[in-house]
Chains A and B, each alone.
Chain A
Amino acid sequence: MNSAAGHAFSFRKIPMSAHLLILMLLSGLLIHDFLHLQRFDSAQLSRVHSLIDQLEKLDAETEQFMLQTINHTRFNYDDLTDDTLAMRDTYHLLQSELSDARFRDSLQDLHDSLTTQFTAIDEFKAAFSIWANSSRYLSVLIKQLIAAHPQQRLMLTELNRDVLNWQLYPDNDELKTQLLQQSKILRTTGMEELYRHLQIILTQGGEVLDAITASTTCGTPENAERLGEQFDAFYTQEMDQKRRNEQTLLMLGALLLAYLVLLLMMRQHDQRALRESEQRFRLLFDLIPDAVGIHQRGLWRYVNPAAMQMYGAKSADELIGSPVLERIHPDHRRQVAERIQNEVKKNQPVPLMAQKHLRIDGSSFYAEVQGIPFEERGQQSIMVVARDITQRIHAERESSRLITILEHTSDFVGMADRNGQVLYVNPAGKSLVGLAADHDVQQMQIADFHPEHETARLLHEILPKAEATGSYQTKAIFKHSDGHDITVSAVFTAHQDNTTGKATHFSVIGRDLTAELERNKQLEHTQRLESLGILAGGIAHDFNNILTAIMGNAAMANRGLEQSNPAREQLARIEAATRRASDLCKQMLAYSGKGRFIIKATNLTDLVEDMTRLMEVSIHKNVVIKYHLAENLPAVEIDTAQIQQVILNLITNANEAIGEKSGVISFSTGIMHADRHYLDQTLTDKPLPEGRYVYFEVSDTGCGMDEQTMQHMFDPFFTTKFTGRGLGMSAVLGIVRGHQGAMRVYSELGKGTTFKVLLPVSEQAVAVEESIDHNDSSPLTGTILIVDDEETIREVAAMMLEEAGFDTMSANDGVEALEVYKQHGDRITGVLMDMTMPRMDGKECFRELRRINPDVKVVLSSGYNEQDATSRFVGQGLAGFIQKPYSPEALIDKMREVFAAS
C-alpha cells in the first residue's frame, strides 16, 4: 500500500498533459492493434476454402458434365457452360480475396490452368457437337448407302462396325489407321459424304477426348489445392500474428484500463481532497470574522457572512451584483475607484487603506481594506479583506485626544517601567524639570527626576503604596535640571499586569505647586493688605466724619472772630492740622482704594507743568529736576488730585533717596505701547490690556533699593524714612491701580531708582476745567433737611447752610427723616443725606422719600468716594453728591449747583 501510495504520489507529479499524452499513445497503440485485428478476417479462411472447394467442385462437375455429355446422359451445354462461368467468377473472387502479393504466382498458375481448362471445354463443346452430329448421321448414311450400293453392303457394314468399335476403344490407333485407309477407298468409290463424316468422326472424336484430357489435366484442382495450402500457411501466420496482436491488445487494454483506473483513483482522491479543502475554505470563509469579498468588473461576486454583517445586509443577494463603489462613502469614492483601477492594471495587491464605507441602510463606518487582484478563469477579479475599524478609529481618536490632553496639560505626566526606566514624559513635564522639548527621556531613570532623598522615599514609600492600592496621591519633590527643587502635588499610578498582579509600569501626574504656593503667599499677603485696607478705610471714614466736625467748627469759629483775635491763629493751626489729618485720611482711603475720585480727561504733560513749582518746593537744594515732557500726549482719565499726590510722593521719595549729595531727578512723560510681556512685569491690580499707555517716569540717582526694600516697598506702614508713616507708596500703588494703570520699578543699590507709571490712554478729549465761581453770592433760599447720624455733622452742616441763607431741619436717621418730610415735605426744598445711618440708611430713605415726593431733591454725602456711593443710586434721580469732609464752600457750591438749577 505504501509503495502504491508512493507510486501514486510521484505519479501525481506528472502533469495532466503528460497523462493525456500517455493515454493517447496507449489508445493509439490499442486502436492500431485493434485495427490490425479487425483487418484479420477470420471468415477469410472459410471463404477462401469454400471458394477453393467451390472451384474444385466445379472443376469436377465440368469434367462430369463433359463425360455425361459424351455418354449421352446430358443433352445440352447449359450446366457445363454455367459451371465454367461460375469457375471464372470463383477465380475472380479468389483473386480479390487473396490480394496479397505472395499469392500472385499461385493465382497466376490457377488462372493459367483455368484458361487452359476453359479453352479445352470450348473445344470440347465445339468438337462434340460436330462429332455427335456426324456420329448420329453415320448410321443413317450407311443405311442409305447400303440401300443405294448393295454391293458395298459388306464393306459398309464392316465399316460401321469398325467405327463403332473404334468409338468404344478410341485409343486403338491401329484401328484408326485402318479406318483412315478404308475411308480413302470411299473417296474413290464416290461416297464423298461418307468419307467426310468418317473423317469428322475420327478427327473430332479424338479432339473431344483430347479436350477432356486437357481439361482434366490442366491442373486446376492441383493449383487450387496448392493455393489453398499456401493460403493456409499464410493464414496460420496471420492467426499467430492475430493471436499475438490479441495478446498485445489485451495487454494494452489492461494497461490502459489500469492507467485509467489509477488516474481515476488519483482524480477521486484529488476530488475528495479538493472537496474537503473547498469545504474547509468555505467554512473558513464563512467563519472569518473579517469581511472577505470578491469583485469583478466593479461588481460584487461573492461576499462572506462577515461581509454581509459588516454592511448590514440580510442576505448575500443584497450585495452580489451591486457595484462595489456603492458601498463606499462619496468622500472616498474617487480614491477607491482609482485604487481599484491601479490594482487591476498593475495586477498587484494594494496595501491597507482606511476607507469610509456605507452600510446598506446608509450609515457610514470606517473600514481597513486590503485588495488582492487575481485571475479566475481568465477573468480579472479582486479579493477584498475589510475590517470595521470604526471602533478602533474612535478609540484611536479618543486615545489621541487623550494623548493630546496629556501633551498639552500643564501638569507633569510621566511613565516609567518597573525598573525605573523612563518611557515617557509629556512636554509640560519636560518643561517643568527644565528639559528641552526634544530631549529623549528614554535614556533616563526615575531617579534623574528627583532629589536623592525623594528618590528613596519613592522607592520605599510612594511606589509600594501605589502598587498596593493602585494609586497614591502625595506631595513629591521633583528636581529641576538646574538643581532646584520643585514641589509637586502628584498622583502615582501603578499599571498592573492582569496575570501577575504586579505593576509593570508606574506613571505619575504632578501639578507644580510652586506657583500655587507662591500665589497662596501672595494671596495671604494681599488678603492681609486688603484687611489692612479695609481697616484703614474704615478708620479713615470715621476720621473724616470727625475731621469734618473739627474743620467745620474751626471754620465757623474763625468766621465769627475778628481779624486781630489771636485765637484766629490757633484756629488757623487747627484748620491746618485738620487738613493734614484729612490728607492722611485721604492717603489711607486712597491706599484702600476708596478715595474720592473725580475723573477728568487730562493731559499729563500739562498737569506736570502745572505742578512744577510745587515739585520744586518739595525738593532739596542739591537736587535738580530734569523734565522730559512729551508734547501732544493723548488724554488720560485721571483724578488730578490723586495723580498729583502720586507724583509728589514719587518726587519726595526720590528726593529722600538722593539725600544730602547732589543728584538728579529725571521726570519724563510719554506714550508707549505696552505688550503682554511688558505688562506682566508690572505691578498691577489685574491684568491690563495690551495697548497704548501714557506714562510718566520719575528717575533718581539716589541710593537705590535692595531686594528686601523692594519687596515690602508697597506694604502699608512700611517705611525707610525715619519720619515716614509708611503709607506713601501704598497710596501711590492704590491710586495707580484705581486708575487702571500699572507701575514698574527699577532699582539698583547705589545707583538709583526709577518709577514708571502707566496710565491707559483715553479716547476723550482733554476736559476743559470748569471754573467754579466761589464768589457768586446770590442768595439761596429754601429749607434743607439734614439727615446724618452724627450730631456734630448735623450741627456743622446746619451752620453752614444757614449762613448761606437756607433754613434747615434735621433728622437723626432715615426714619426720622421720613417723619419730618411727611410733616413738612411741602416746605422742604431739598435733603442733605448721609449714606450710612442706622435704622434706615441713605439708600432706603431716599427711596421712601421718593415715594412721598418723586421730585424730591436729595444730595448725598459720604466718606466714601462718589463712584462707590452713587453707584447704588444710578437712575434714581439723585440730585448730587458731596464727599466728606467737606468745607463750607464746597457744601455751598454743591447746594447752589443743585438748587440753582431749579
Chain B
Amino acid sequence: MTRQRFVPAAVQPFKPPIATARRCGVSLLRALLLLAPLTLLLGAQPAAALNLSLEPLQPIPEKIPADPALAKLGEKLFFDPRLSADNTISCAHCHDLEHGGVDGLKHSYGVDGREGMVNSPTVFNSGLNFAQFWDGRAATLEDQIDGPVTGHVEMDSKWPDVLKKLREDQLYKQRFHTLFDDGLTANNVKHAIAEFERTLLTPDSRFDRYLKGDVNAINEAEKHGYALFKSYGCVSCHQGRNVGGNLFQKLGVMGDYFKENAMENKAGLGRFNVTGLASDKHRFKVPSLRLVVLTAPYFHNGRYRTLAETIRTMAKFQLGRHIPDEDIRYIIQFLYTLPGKYRGKSLEPKDRPLLHFGNLDSAPSGADS
C-alpha cells in the first residue's frame, strides 16, 4: 500500500545510520518532546479539513490484493458446514456476515452446542489485523482456520475427514484442481478461505470519507466524538486503519482489571498463553473498533453487553479516566460512523440503540446480568 507522507517542514524524516541510532534518537527525542503537547493541542481542535498524515486513524483500503477465483471458492467453503464434524457448523456460524461478522453471543458455541471460551471477533476487516485470535497465536488468516476447524468446542473436525467430505463434491474437486497444482489439500482449503476473508473489507465509511477530505461526511457531534476519542487517548491503542488490531495491550493498565473481574477461563491470560512471558499476562490483541457498533457483546469474554459500559470500563482500567455519559454518547456517535460498505451495501445501522443507555455513574462497572 502506498504511504502518503506529508512531513511538516519542522519535522524532518529521520534516517539515521544504524549504529548511531540510539545516540541521535535520544537527543532528538529531547527536542521533539517539547513540541509534543503543542501538536496535540493543535490536533485537539477540529480543523476544516483533516491532514490525513497527521491522523491516528486511517481509511480502510478499497482492496487487499486477492485472487478473485480463489476468493470465490473460499466463500463457498466459508459457508460450508461440511468443515465441521457433524456438518452443522460453518465459518459463517460464528462469523455471520449478515450480523457484522459475529454471532452476537457472549461465547460462541460449536458442534453439539459446545460453548466456546471467548467472544468471536468480527471477520470483517480481519485481513487488516496483524495477528488473529485474542492472543494473536495465529500469524495469518490461514493459520487462524486451524483453530475453529479442529477445535473441540467448535467444528471438532480433522482435516483428513474434512478433505474426504470435500472430495466427494465434484465442484470442489474440479475447482481445486483448476486453481492448485496439488488439488484439494488442507493448505489450499485454508488459502481459499483466507483469500475470501481478505475480501471482507468495509471501506468507504462516512468516517473514512471524512478522513479523505469530505468534511461533511460526518456531523459535528460525530466529529466531536472523534475529537474526544483522540483526546481521551482511546486512540493510543485503537489506531491505524483498523482502529486497533495492530498491537497487543494489557487489559488493566491503570488498575488490576482481573482483580475485580475474575477470569472465566484461561483465555483471560491472553498473550501469556502464547509466549509464556510474565509481561504478557493479560495482554490481548487490541480489537478493531471498525464494526464495534455491530459486534456486541464486548471484550474477549463478551462480558459487556453495552458499548457504554465497555467504554466506561476501558476508560477506567486503560486510561485511568472517568468519561462522563455525555462524552460517551459523543464517542458512540462517532463510532457509528465507522462501519463501511460491503459489496456496495453500507453496514452502518440506521438506528443507534447503543446510544440509549441508563445512568452508568451509579454502577462503577457494568456487570453482566
Contact = CB atoms under 8 A, between A and B. Distances in A.
Contact of A77 (B7, B37, B247, B319): B247
A177 interface: no
Contacts of B34: 164, 168
A133 B130 contact: no
Interface of B is mostly: mixed
Interface stretch (A193-201, A256-264, A669-677, A839-847): A193-201
Interface stretch (B20-28, B84-92, B193-201, B297-305): B20-28
Interface stretch (A78-86, A374-382, A616-624, A796-804): A78-86
A129 interface: yes
A77 B36 contact: no
B26 A170 contact: yes
Interface stretch (A66-74, A269-277, A280-288, A849-857): A66-74
Interface string A131-160: 011111101000000000000000000000
Contacts of B237: 129
B55 A75 contact: yes
A216 B247 contact: no
Contact of A72 (B21, B35, B130): B35
Nearest to B25: A67
A84 B8 CA distance: 25
B57 A126 contact: no
Given A67-B29, A132-B236, A216 B249 contact: no
Given A71-B32, A126-B247, A213-B22, A77 B239 contact: yes
A75 B54 contact: yes
Given A76-B239, A129-B249, A123 B279 contact: yes
A78 B240 contact: yes
Interface in B243-266: 246-250, 253-254
Given A78-B246, A122-B248, A130 B13 contact: no
Interface residues of A, number: 52
B36 A72 contact: yes
A200 B18 contact: no
Contacts of A78: 58, 239-241, 246
A71 B14 contact: yes
Contact of A169 (B30, B35, B57, B279): B30
Contacts of B30: 167-169
A129 B247 contact: yes
Contact of A73 (B18, B32, B236, B321): B32
Contacts of A134: 320
Contacts of A126: 247-250, 283
A171 interface: yes
Contacts of B236: 128-130, 132-133
A79 B3 contact: yes
B248 A125 contact: yes
A307 interface: no
B248 A63 contact: no
Contacts of B32: 70-73
A84 B247 CA distance: 11
A72 B246 contact: no
Nearest to A56: B18
A212 B37 CA distance: 22
Contacts of A59: 18
A204 to B, nearest CB: 9
B21 A81 contact: no
Contacts of B319: 133, 137
B213 interface: no
Nearest to B231: A136
Contacts of B35: 72
Contacts of B186: none
B367 interface: no
Interface in B131-175: 139
Interface size for chain B: under 10, 10 to 19, 20 to 34, or 35 or more residues?
A: 35 or more
Nearest to A81: B246
B56 interface: yes
Contact of A135 (B1, B21, B36, B241): B36
Interface in B218-244: 231, 233, 236-237, 239-241
A546 interface: no
Most chain B C-beta atoms within 10 Å of own C-beta, residue among A123, A125, A137: A125
Contacts of B18: 56, 59-60, 63, 216, 221
Contact of B56 (A64, A76, A169): A76
Interface string A802-820: 0000000000000000000
Interface in B13-61: 13-16, 18, 21-22, 25-26, 28-30, 32-37, 39-40, 54-58
A133 B323 CA distance: 14
Given A64-B13, A72-B39, A81-B130, A212 B25 contact: yes
Nearest to A80: B246
A84 B318 CA distance: 25
B363 interface: no
B39 A64 contact: no
Contact of B22 (A119, A135, A216): A216
Contact of B26 (A68, A125, A128, A171): A171
Most chain A C-beta atoms within 10 Å of own C-beta, residue among B7, B22, B241: B22
B239 A75 contact: yes
Contacts of A132: 233, 236
A88 interface: yes
Contacts of B1: 82
Nearest to A88: B139
Most chain B C-beta atoms within 10 Å of own C-beta, residue among A79, A139, A221: A79
B278 interface: no
A78 B130 CA distance: 9
A212 B23 CA distance: 12
A148 B321 CA distance: 17
Interface in A169-208: 169-171, 193, 196-197, 200
A70 B29 contact: yes
Nearest to B247: A125
A168 B321 contact: no
B15 A60 contact: yes
Interface of A: 56, 59-60, 63-64, 67-68, 70-73, 75-79, 81-82, 84-85, 88, 119, 122-123, 125-126, 128-130, 132-137, 139, 164, 167-171, 193, 196-197, 200, 209, 212-213, 216-217, 221
10 smallest beta-carbon distances between A and B, as pairs? A133-B233, A129-B236, A125-B247, A168-B30, A71-B32, A76-B239, A78-B240, A81-B246, A76-B240, A75-B56
28 contacts: A56-B18, A67-B21, A70-B32, A71-B11, A73-B7, A73-B11, A73-B14, A76-B58, A76-B246, A79-B3, A81-B247, A84-B130, A85-B130, A122-B247, A122-B248, A126-B249, A126-B283, A129-B249, A130-B236, A130-B253, A133-B318, A135-B36, A136-B231, A137-B233, A137-B319, A200-B254, A216-B21, A216-B22
Given A81-B130, A132-B233, A196-B320, 8 more contacts: A75-B54, A75-B239, A76-B56, A78-B240, A128-B236, A130-B236, A168-B34, A170-B26
Interface of B: 1, 3, 7-8, 11, 13-16, 18, 21-22, 25-26, 28-30, 32-37, 39-40, 54-58, 130, 139, 231, 233, 236-237, 239-241, 246-250, 253-254, 275, 277, 279, 283, 318-321
